[in-house]
């Protein structure tokens, strides 16, 4: 039965080799299966008919019946258009075509009855419908009786060769007619019965031509559940396999290093959230199973301190630790802050980046191999083959979405037999549903409170007319000794214009604050000039930093308590939140001011309102996913758990995802290896879904 859906799309009546090539190139539809799993993005009710006299330009899609009274071709060459006067007993409307004019003139007949479907619009004080769907009475009678017509995404190239949504609809109807009895079930009978699911065959046929809303709802639920269930089954099976296969080092001792640091060197009292996370990790590393844990927490929540305490735990058990950061700036920052926290303790720390000199590397490599270096901090230079540890027990990865899966894998191949424990840290809050999917094979810890003494950042949204008020506010803050960030967007599509705006902004600031030293930083500068400008700001030599988003990660200036984000409507929520996290590092009250023009979209308005309303990174992440969709959230492309959602939506289908995860957990609890006869269907599907020979099961 699987062979039926595996047939090449060119063999479907109505396709052929040329169309097949285009479908493959534009929509990645190669087989019958690809087509039947190419779902509509919306449905339109085709049962209601309007009279022409009832139509106005604010209406959505409408359907009318009547005849063409006359044609007229206007303009020449590419600006040519065809218009037709279309009438019923109540009045007339204009139909307009800008392409395929010759074809329309040859196929459409005067005084013949047509059903016209399309969206009315205003043009030159007349209502018209551009590129309407046209059907004769004969074609109407051949249509399925379904209430709804599905609409499919097609490309401009396809439309130019007369393959539009209507064409896809016809192909789906053809495929449905020859599919009956040939689509095999992909879930065990006991799950279909228990969850009262529609069969796979009925779901796939119904989704393209639903008869009513109930059938559409049932078909959609079935297909979403299956999609999410198999993702969860795959993730949880990987986790189960890893926990049984990958033995881990036991950190049994809480000894001198951990206790001395806790009693004498702790920079501030641990929060309740930090204590809870340390207990969770302590339990993990004492179990003879490799730890794979994700630590989420906003910028400034104290993740690095938690990571350091686990590294000291590793030291107490005679193991080395490695911390990998995505940039030299961030690696250097971790090195400086950890060195400062451990000042006075007998701990050997080293830094390895692309800039580390050859003679220093030689000493460093020897120290790692003989075990005198206990903590190594660095960039992806850590994964080079020449970097060999004596006994690596813990790997900490910061902002892990910036590393590819294969890069991360190299770190825990540094030990021959037992992989090190893995702690993945991110300051990008991840929505719950995304965490269950992208990081579903990891145990998740969350630091959801800030260290004591930190005041919540006050966020305000100003339109351009409050520029004078903004400058007065900056002046007051500067007089109090506070430093200020002013950030401009730098989007690759409009890079030249953005750099011009940045330079212009820099000029305005230097003119407005003549007695204040201002530095400017952007990614196009030479590294040493950029580094010097950042250092000058960090040392307090310059009081205002005008920059692009290069300061999003890696600049820690406790005295900077004002963040102004210019053209804030052009930034995504996640980026706005990360930028805001650059202030609020010290004891002073911090501010974030979002500047925007008056003309902003509803979506931009929603983003800025969210920023003003809340500092909660997790709430911001949820709103971000609802606005943008999960595919755009940082980290989803490199997670190592490949999934391509065709119908489920992680922003909207949280309840179905939770059900799918619960059911997958129940199945694996009863039958971990999926060896029972009733679960062979699940095992077969997982094996088919395995896209690589590399064993990703030890990787987050």
Per residue in 214-242, pLDDT (tens digit) is 999 999 999 999 999 999 998 888 888 77
Mapped to the 3 state alphabet, what secondary structure does 69-127 carry?
Answer: EEEEEECCHHHCEEEEEEEECCEEEEEEECCCHHHHHHHCCCCCEEEEEECEEEECCEE
For residue 63, the cross-strand partners are 117
pLDDT tens across 97-132, in order? Answer: 988 888 888 888 898 899 898 889 887 778 899 988
Phi/psi at 365 (5° precision): -60, -40
Residue, of 318 and 430, whose pLDDT is higher: 318
Q: What pLDDT is recorded for position 587?
A: 76
The helix-helix angle for 654-670 and 213-245 (nearest 10°) equals: 50
- Residue-level pLDDT at 287: 87
Confidence of residue 693 (pLDDT cuts 50, 70, 90): very low
Can you give the residue ranges of every domain in the chain?
1-47+147-184, 50-143, 256-447, 458-614
Q: Which of 33-42, 537-546, 570-579 has the lowest mean pLDDT?
A: 570-579
- Assign a CATH topology to domain 256-447: Rossmann fold (3.40.50)
- Rounded distance, CA 216 to CA 92, Å? 36
Would you state the pLDDT for residue 631?
53
pLDDT in tens, 561-597: 999 999 999 998 888 998 898 888 777 899 999 999 8
Note whether 179 and 205 are within 8 A (CB): yes
| 211 pLDDT more than 50 | yes
Neighbours of 291 (CB within 10 A): 25
CA distances from 120 to 48, 65, 153, 690 (A): 15, 14, 20, 48
More confident residue, 563 or 533: 563
The span from the CA of 636 to the CA of 247, in Å, is 28
CB 649 within 8 A of CB 228: no
Q: What is the pLDDT at residue 640?
A: 40
Tens of pLDDT, residue by residue over 249-264, are: 899 999 999 999 999 9
- What pLDDT was estimated at residue 694? 36
Domain 458-614 falls in which CATH fold?
A: Rossmann fold (3.40.50)
**696, 413 contact by CB (below 8 A):** no
Strands (E), 317-410: 320-324, 349-352, 375-378, 392-398
- Name the band, by pLDDT with cuts 50, 70 and 90, for residue 75: confident
DSSP for residue 650: T
CA-nearest of 118, 122, 145 to 132 is 118
The mean-pLDDT minimum among 140-154, 526-540, 593-607 falls in 140-154
Kindly state the average pLDDT of the residues 185-196.
Answer: 96
- How far is Cα 13 from Cα 314, in angstroms, rounded to an integer? 65
Beta-carbon contacts of residue 206 (< 8 Å; ≥ 6 apart):
198, 215, 216, 218, 219
In this chain, the answer to whether the domains covering 256-447 and 458-614 adopt an identical fold is: yes
**168-172, 219-223, 251-255, 519-523, range with the lowest pLDDT:** 519-523
C-beta separation of 438 from 234 below 8 A: no
Average pLDDT over residues 620-626: 83
Rounded distance between C-alpha atoms, residue 310 and residue 408, angstroms: 19
For residue 337, what are the CA distances in angstroms to 342, 349, 429? 9, 12, 23
CB 651 within 8 A of CB 625: yes
Residue 2 has pLDDT above 80, yes or no: no
The more confident residue out of 124 and 665 is 665
pLDDT of residue 639: 42
Which residues touch 697 (CB under 8 Å, ≥6 apart)?
238, 239, 241, 242, 245, 246, 441
CATH class of the 1-47+147-184 domain in this structure? mainly alpha
* DSSP symbols for 502-568: HHHHHHHHHHHTTTS-EEEE-TTS-HHHHHHHHHHHHTTS-SEEEE-GGGSSS---TTEEEEEETTG
**DSSP code per residue over 630-649:** GGGSTTSTTSSS----SS--
Asked if residue 633 has pLDDT above 70, the reply is no
Residue 140 CA from chain centroid, whole number: 42
| Cβ-contact 160, 189 below 8 angstroms | no
pLDDT tens digit string along 498-514? 777 888 889 999 999 99
Predicted local distance difference test score (pLDDT) of residue 637: 40
Is the pLDDT reported for residue 469 higher than 90? yes
Buried b (16+ CB within 10 A) or exposed e, 127-137: bbbebbbbbee
User: pLDDT band for position 635 (50/70/90)?
Assistant: very low
Give the DSSP H/E element, type plus range, for residue 484. Answer: strand 483-487
Residue 73, pLDDT above cutoff 70: yes
Q: What is the pLDDT of residue 553?
A: 55
pTM: 0.68
Cβ contacts of residue 60 below 8 Å, gap of 6+? 119
Residue 496 has pLDDT above 80, yes or no: no
pLDDT digit string, tens, across residues 320-373: 999 999 888 788 889 999 999 999 999 999 999 988 899 999 999 999 999 999
Give the pLDDT of residue 147. 63
Q: Judge whether 657 and 228 are in contact, CB under 8 Å.
A: yes
pLDDT at residue 26, rounded to an integer: 93
Note whether 447 and 302 are within 8 A (CB): yes
3-state secondary structure of 63: strand
Distance CA 479, CA 203 (A): 67
User: What's the confidence (pLDDT) of residue 554?
Assistant: 54
Give the SS3 label for residue 389: coil
The beta-strand segments (E) located in 346-456 are: 349-352, 375-378, 392-398, 421-426, 443-447
Express each pLDDT in 261-281 by its tens digit. Answer: 999 999 888 999 999 999 999
Contact 274, 406 (CB under 8 A): no
d(CA 51, CA 67): 13
Give the 3-state secondary structure percentages of the chain, helix then strand then coil, rounded to 5. 45, 20, 35
With 80 as the cut, is the pLDDT of residue 416 above it?
no
CATH class of 50-143: mainly beta
139 near 114, Cβ under 8 Å? Answer: no
Q: What is the predicted pLDDT for the residue at 434?
A: 76
Predicted pLDDT at 282: 95
């Amino acid at each position: 039965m699987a062979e039926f859906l595996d047939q090449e799309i060119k063999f479907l009546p109505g396709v052929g080799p040329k169309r097949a090539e285009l479908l493959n190139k534009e929509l990645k539809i190669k087989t019958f299966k690809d087509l039947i799993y190419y779902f509509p993005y919306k449905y339109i009710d085709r049962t209601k008919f309007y009279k022409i006299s009832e139509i106005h330009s604010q209406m959505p899609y409408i359907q009318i019946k009547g005849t063409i009274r006359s044609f007229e071709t206007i303009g020449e060459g590419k600006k040519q258009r065809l218009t037709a006067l279309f009438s019923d007993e109540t009045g007339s409307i204009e139909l307009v075509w800008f392409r395929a004019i010759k074809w329309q003139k040859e196929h459409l007949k005067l005084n013949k009855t047509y059903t016209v479907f399309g969206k009315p619009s205003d043009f030159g004080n007349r209502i018209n419908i551009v590129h309407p769907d046209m059907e004769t009475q004969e074609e109407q009678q051949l249509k399925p009786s379904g209430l709804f017509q599905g609409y499919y995404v097609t490309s401009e190239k396809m439309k130019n060769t007369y393959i539009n949504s209507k064409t896809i609809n016809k192909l789906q109807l053809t495929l449905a007619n020859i599919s009956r009895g040939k689509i095999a079930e992909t879930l065990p009978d006991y799950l279909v019965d228990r969850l009262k699911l529609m069969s796979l065959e009925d779901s796939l046929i119904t989704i393209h031509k639903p008869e009513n809303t109930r059938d559409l709802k049932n078909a959609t639920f079935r297909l979403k559940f299956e999609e999410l269930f198999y993702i969860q089954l795959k993730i949880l099976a990987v986790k189960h396999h890893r926990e049984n296969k990958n033995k881990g080092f036991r950190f049994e001792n809480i000894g001198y290093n951990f206790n001395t640091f806790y009693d004498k060197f702790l920079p501030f009292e641990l929060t309740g959230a930090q204590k809870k996370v340390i207990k969770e990790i302590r339990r993990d590393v004492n179990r003879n199973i490799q730890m794979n844990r994700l630590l989420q927490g906003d910028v400034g929540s104290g993740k690095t301190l938690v990571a350091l305490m686990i590294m000291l735990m590793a030291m107490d058990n005679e193991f080395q630790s490695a911390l990998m950061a995505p940039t030299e700036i961030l690696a250097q920052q971790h090195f400086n802050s950890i060195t400062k926290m451990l000042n006075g303790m007998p701990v050997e720390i080293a830094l390895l980046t692309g800039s580390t000199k050859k003679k220093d590397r030689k000493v460093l490599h020897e120290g790692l191999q003989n075990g005198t270096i206990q903590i190594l901090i660095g960039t992806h230079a850590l994964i080079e083959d020449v970097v060999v540890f004596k006994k690596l027990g813990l790997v900490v990865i910061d902002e892990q979405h910036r590393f590819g899966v294969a890069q991360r894998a190299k770190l825990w191949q540094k030990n021959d037999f037992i992989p090190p424990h893995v702690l993945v840290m991110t300051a990008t809050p991840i929505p719950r549903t995304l965490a269950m999917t992208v990081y579903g094979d990891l145990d998740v810890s969350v630091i959801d409170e800030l260290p004591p003494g930190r005041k919540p950042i006050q966020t305000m949204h100003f339109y351009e007319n409050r520029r004078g008020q903004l400058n007065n506010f900056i002046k007051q803050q500067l007089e109090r000794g506070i430093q200020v960030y002013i950030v401009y967007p730098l989007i690759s599509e409009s890079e030249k214009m953005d750099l011009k705006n940045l330079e212009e902004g820099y000029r305005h600031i230097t003119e407005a604050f003549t007695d204040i030293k201002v530095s400017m930083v952007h990614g196009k500068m030479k590294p040493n000039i950029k580094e010097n400008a950042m250092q000058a700001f960090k040392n307090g030599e310059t009081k205002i930093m005008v920059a692009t988003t290069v300061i999003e990660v890696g600049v820690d200036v406790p005295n900077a308590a004002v963040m102004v984000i210019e053209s804030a409507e052009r930034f995504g929520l996640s980026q706005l939140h990360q930028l805001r996290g650059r202030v609020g590092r010290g004891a002073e009250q911090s501010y974030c001011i979002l500047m925007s023009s008056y003309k902003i979209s509803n979506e931009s308005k929603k983003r800025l309102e969210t920023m003003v309303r809340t500092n909660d990174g997790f709430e911001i992440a949820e709103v971000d996913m609802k606005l943008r969709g999960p595919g755009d959230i940082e980290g989803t492309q490199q997670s190592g758990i490949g999934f391509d959602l065709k119908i489920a939506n992680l922003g909207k289908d949280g309840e179905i995802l939770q059900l799918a995860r619960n059911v997958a957990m129940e199945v694996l609890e009863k039958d971990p290896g999926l060896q029972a006869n009733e679960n062979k269907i699940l095992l077969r599907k997982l094996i088919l879904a395995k896209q690589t020979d590399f064993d990703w099961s030890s990787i987050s």
